[in-house]
Chain A
Amino acid sequence: MTSAVEVKGVTKKFKTVTALSNVSLTVGKGELFGIIGADGAGKTTLFRILCTLMLADEGRAEVLGFDARKEYRSIRSRIGYMPGRFSLYTDLSVEENLKFFATVFNTTVEENYELIADIYTQLEPFKKRMAGQLSGGMKQKLALCCALIHRPDLLLLDEPTTGVDAVSRREFWQMLGRLKEQGITILVSTPYMDEASLCDRVAFLQDGTILAVDTPVGITGLFTAPLFSVRANEKHKLLTRLRSYPHAKSVYAFGSSVHYTDHRPSASSEEIMRYLSESELQEITIERIEPGIEDTFMALMKTDDGSHHE
């Protein structure tokens, strides 16, 4: 057995909503694997099926070699799970939470301390503080410690960085990197595109369907059209102007610039510049750029007419 997670054709419906539709993916042992998708894409449902809290309607899921339906007990004692919302006891102190989860898993904090030492030393000064009084970043670190306390083989982290500031997010990802070095397989979901590049491999999930699974570099390789980054003094006018260009394929605001692709593979920045110069726009700059993960995701997303998009 070389894969930690094996999902084949999993479908899950809730009344009228199809949360997951024919999802298949494989996570190798020791991999740091990211599931990227927006709210409602099906990330949480997938995680709940993997940690055996839900049953798939169709298809099968294997976790650490055990069947998620029949052998759920074996899976539960071997995984560490961090649900999407903060799920520790807010009226218990940092220390008490950790101790509690250690006893729940029939272990002690001392037994596996070296695994969490790196993270817990940051929490130590506040160990008497109630978990509810911690900052978002601290809460996530504590939740991670609690999920690790029984030395699981697989970590399932559902949106661990949502609502956490940039500094804590970065630290959190550094911790994941170190855990990976210790041989723990990590499956993490996130709505943030920029976190995709920190994973070994990622899967894009949209409306319950997997759009692509690949390494971050492999993913951007799927984007083949020439991409231009355009700037001008007035962004709204720039967007409108570019969208009315007959050859425009996609025009999206992208931070302080606008990302533009053309229907013609041979499109050149000079041509676009000429078109834009005919308007009242000023300070125009056009630059050919390499696509990022977010560009690729948007290109892969199923596109209807535009306005009626979920």
Chain B
Amino acid sequence: MKEWSSFVGFVVKEFYHIFRDRRTAAILFGMPVIQLLLFGYAIRNEIQEVKIGIADLSRDAVSQAITDKILSSGTFVLVKNPQSHSEIQSAFRSGAMSEAVIFEPASDREIQREGSMDIQVITDGSDPNVSRIITGYTASVIRDYLSESATTVDEPKGVVPVPLMMFNPGLKSVYLFVPGLMALILMLVSALMTSISITREKESGTMEVLLVSSLKPIQIIVGKVVPYFLLSFINVVSILVIASLVFGVPCRGSVLLLMAESLLFIMTALSLGMFISTITSSQQVAMMISLGGLLLPTILLSGFIFPVASMPLPLQVISNVIPAKWYLIIVRAIMLKGAGFAVLWQETLVLAVMTVVLIGASLRNFSERLE
């Protein structure tokens, strides 16, 4: 019973630290909301208001119809009708235009007689992402036209692929960011904050006093971890609520499973934080390891922003040791695809093993002395 009350005392003390330091409280509660709103509203992958130039050299019904279709899609804004190649080039250079569509002469005749026409699409390759997306979009508009006109004009030659974006037909980026953001915030709150709060005690000398007390190392560690565990879970819930209410992100799978997996990931992140604090003795180093060694890989290598499959092989291999990668797969599968545990047990197992290994390493490393 006494052991229990000393443990409760420890946890209460930890909450005092968290709520009395405005910066900690701000990171804990302000950051998740701000990041979610930032990613949800400001940072979007969808392409809008693409400045387009159309040079219609054939001037016939087909080119006119395609032009109308492109412009009516709402994605493109016609900025000019360039008359020459040099005009196109200078418009690209000045940034006045991001895409040019050129209809070669006599397309009407050719498309009717040969079933083919030449349309040149030129984009500004200095931003490859945008360039790829708008090229694809233009191509799909043209294909749409061709498939519509096929019944009336001619049998289409070859196979025309009809894309359907499963689970996210609107290709809304917020669907992608919410799971990534959950991974990021849990990593930050759990790993960074735990490692800092433990190293702070080492720096201030209070760890010395704690060690020379009746507390066992496991009590110190668990006492440090419990508050952040609770707060991280509150964060998960609030992110999901905001995502669903403000951005309409669905949760197609079991909410219970999602919570359970999130709790597991929080444990992984906390054990990482513990591990970091056992190998460092200053807040500064702990912060650097957490930010450089955890946050950046979580953003860059987990598949949050860049798809893992398109990374070079060495990076793909490295991405396997990043817990967020597995958590992302799980969250996306549950929220967007409605997947159940039967499909996700492997990813879950990976996270569980990571957690056990990290906790083991931290306990082994946690010194009961100062050396």
A–B contact via C-beta, under 8 angstroms: yes
| Residues in chain A within 8 A of chain B (CB atoms) | 48, 51-55, 72, 76-77, 79, 81, 83-92, 96, 99-106, 146-147, 150
A86, A91, A100, A146: the one contacting B20 at CB < 8 Å is A91
- B204: A residues at CB distance < 8 A: 85, 87, 89-90
How many A-B residue pairs have C-beta atoms within 8 angstroms? Tell me. Answer: 83
Complex Cα gap A87–B204 (Å): 6
Majority DSSP secondary structure for residues of A touching B: loop
The answer to whether A104 touches B210, judged by C-beta atoms less than 8 angstroms apart, is yes
Size band of the interface chain B makes with A: 20 to 34
Query: Which of B3, B206, B208, B368 contacts A89, CB < 8 Å?
Result: B206
13 contacts between A and B (CB under 8 A): A52-B212, A53-B370, A55-B371, A76-B211, A77-B213, A87-B204, A87-B208, A89-B13, A89-B16, A89-B17, A103-B10, A104-B215, A105-B213
- Given the known A-B contacts A83-B208, A92-B13, A104-B210, are A55 and B6 also in contact in the complex, defined by CB atoms under 8 Å? no
- CB-CB under 8 A from B214, the residues of chain A are 76-77, 104-106, 150
Which residue on chain B has the smallest CB distance to residue A14? B371
Q: How many whole Å from B33's CB to the nearest CB in chain A?
A: 24
Q: Determine the chain A residues whose CB is within 8 A of the CB of B5 once the complex forms.
A: 103, 106
B113 is an interface residue with CB less than 8 A from chain A: no
Q: By DSSP majority rule, is chain B's interface helix, strand, loop, or mixed?
A: helix
Bound-state Cα–Cα, A104 to B210, Å: 8
Contact B206 A55 (CB under 8 A): no
- A96 and B213 form a contact (CB under 8 A): no
User: Which 9 residue pairs across A and B have the least CB separation, nearest first?
Assistant: A103-B9, A87-B205, A106-B2, A103-B6, A81-B212, A53-B370, A91-B20, A85-B205, A83-B208
User: A106-B3, A106-B6 given as contacts; is B213 within 8 A of A76 (CB)?
Assistant: yes
A104 touches B9 (CB 8 A): yes
Residues of chain B contacted by A146 (CB below 8 angstroms): 209
B140: shortest Cβ distance to chain A, in Å?
58
* Interface check B369, CB cutoff 8 A: yes
CA distance A79 to B215 in the complex (A): 13
- Are A83 and B209 in contact, CB atoms less than 8 angstroms apart? yes
Q: State whether the Cβ of B21 lies closer than 8 Å to any Cβ in chain A.
A: yes
Known: A83-B209, A105-B214. A48 touches B10 (CB 8 A): no
Q: Find out whether the CB atom of A53 lies under 8 angstroms from the CB atom of B212.
A: yes
A87 contacts B17, C-beta separation under 8 Å: no
Q: Is the CB of B9 within 8 A of A91?
A: no
With A55-B371, A81-B208, A104-B10 as contacts: A91 and B213 at CB distance below 8 Å: no
Q: Are the C-beta atoms of A54 and B212 separated by less than 8 Å?
A: no
- How far apart sit A288 and B371, CA to CA, in the bound complex (Å)? 50
Once the chains bind, are B369 and A91 in contact (CB under 8 Å)? no
Hey, which chain A residues are within 8 Å of B21, CB to CB? 91
**CA of A76 to CA of B208, assembled, Å:** 11
Report which of A76, A96, A106 forms a contact with B13, defined as CB distance below 8 A. Answer: A96
Contact A87 B213 (CB under 8 A): no
Complex: how many Å from CA A168 to CA B371? Answer: 33
CB-CB under 8 A from B16, the residues of chain A are 89, 91-92, 96
Additional A-B contact list (9), CB under 8 Å, known A104-B210, A106-B214: A53-B212, A77-B214, A85-B204, A85-B205, A86-B205, A87-B204, A91-B20, A100-B10, A106-B6
- Tell me if B212 and A87 are in contact (CB < 8 A): no
Q: How far is the CB of A91 from chain B (nearest CB, A)?
A: 5
As a 0/1 sequence over residues 18 to 36 of chain B, the CB contacts with chain A under 8 angstroms (1 = contact) are 0011000000000000000
A55 cross-chain contacts in B, Cβ below 8 A: 369, 371
Complex CA gap A102/B3 in Å reads 12
Q: In the complex, what residue of chain B is closest to A72 when comparing beta carbons?
A: B368
- Chain B residue nearest in CB terms to A103: B9
Specify which chain B residues have a CB less than 8 angstroms from the CB of A102 in the assembled complex: 9
Chain B 195-218 residues near chain A, CB threshold 8 A: 204-206, 208-215
Closest-CB distance, A9 to chain B (whole angstroms): 20
In Å, the complex CA distance between A229 and B214 comes to: 53
B6, B8, B212, B371 — most chain A CB neighbours (10 Å): B212
Closest residue of A by beta carbon distance from B203: A85
Minimum CB distance partner of A104 in chain B: B213
A55 to B369, CA, bound (A): 8
When distances are taken between beta carbons in the complex, the residues of chain A under 8 Å from B206 are 87-89
Chain B residue numbers with a CB within 8 Å of A101 are 209, 213
Chain B hits for A77, CB < 8 A = 213-214
Contacts of A90 in B (CB 8 A): 204
Residue in A closest to B3 when the chains form the complex, CB atoms:
A106
Q: Give the residues in chain A near B209, CB-CB below 8 Å.
A: 81, 83, 87, 101, 146-147
Complex Cα spacing A96 to B14, Å: 12
Contacts of A83 in B (CB 8 A): 205, 208-209
Nearest-neighbour CB distance to chain B for A111, whole angstroms, equals: 11
Q: Which residues does chain A contribute within 8 Å of B368, judged by CB atoms?
A: 72
Identity of the chain B residue whose Cβ is nearest the Cβ of A79 in the assembled complex: B212
- Interface pair B208/A53, CB less than 8 Å apart: yes
